[in-house]
Amino acid sequence: MQSTTEGQNLNSVDIDLKSTSEIVRIFHEEDRKAMEAVEAESEAIADAIELCVAAFRTGGRLFYVGAGTSGRLGVLDASECPPTFSTSPEMVQGIIAGGDIALRRSVEGEEDKPDSGMRAVRERHLTSQDVLVGIASSGRTPYVIGALKEAHTIGATTIFLCCVSPPEELKSWVTHFITPIVGPEIIAGSTRLKAGTATKLVLNMLTTVSMIKLGKVYNNLMVDVHASNTKLVARSVRIVQAVTGVDAAVAEAALARADGRAKLAIVMLAKGLNPTDANTLLEKHGGFLRQILD
């Protein structure tokens, strides 16, 4: 049976005959459908986030597994967590069929090998505390299905993110489904378009909301940012200023004493503590700045 991601989109028939402005309009119309499809899965996304948070709180990890665009988006989301939230690189990991070389160019045939997906899971030493999110727009990528099956066998929580109604047989070994049905692509089968957009939106929420629930955001500020470059150092200064009301020079000095940790610098300034005592207070409250400041 042909997947809806492979169907022909009636809204883009004869697109090669249309003006540039007309094509852009079609893109806007179709991208709105991707947004609506993700919104329709709000409850499923929220439930998946709770599964991730529960895993993180018991020392578990989150793994994304995908091929092609799906794999690249998973690796992208995972790689953004350490600088944004100061997580360890092991906490959220992206696995792509074909390995890192597939981030830049297609590795033909790897996505068709379920055994490779199973092996990738074993190599990461998944446990029953972990969560594995298989990403496959078409709902049938063998590499992803192999990874999900292996994770299920290990006892990990399994989540399947796809843009079609999933095959019935998957339901016996997938814990949870997220299925934004985006419909046929503007260019038939090009799932880097609407399906890719929907996937990115979902992954944004899985990690970001999880990190909020783990206390890595105060108000709407990334107080656990890892200041690893000039831009992020300047952002850290602004964050410390926004929360404590001090001037830039005081914020910079506190950050220097806190080894660049904005959250620690905030506690030091707000409570008049040295770095050691401020860190002890943070640990006492599980890293939740709100509990200390309110």
The C-alpha atoms of residue 197 and residue 186 are separated, in whole angstroms, by: 13
CA dihedral 221, 226, 232, 235 (to 10 degrees): 30
Helix axes 262-271, 275-284, angle to 10 degrees: 100
Distances (CA, A) of 204 to 77, 197, 218, 228: 7, 11, 18, 21
Q: What angle do CA 182, 187, 190 make, to 5 degrees?
A: 65
Q: Which amino acid is at 220?
A: N
6 carries an active-site annotation: no
Catalytic residue among 30, 41, 110, 111: 111
Which is it for the CA torsion 73, 41, 146, 64, positive or negative? positive
Cβ atoms of residues 137 and 69 within 8 Å: yes
Structure tokens at 39: 């919104």
> Is 169 tagged catalytic?
no
CA distance 98 to 127: 23
Q: How far apart are CA 6 and CA 108, in angstroms?
A: 19
Geometric angle at alpha carbon 47, from 41 and 51, rounded to 5°: 140
Catalytic positions are 80, 111
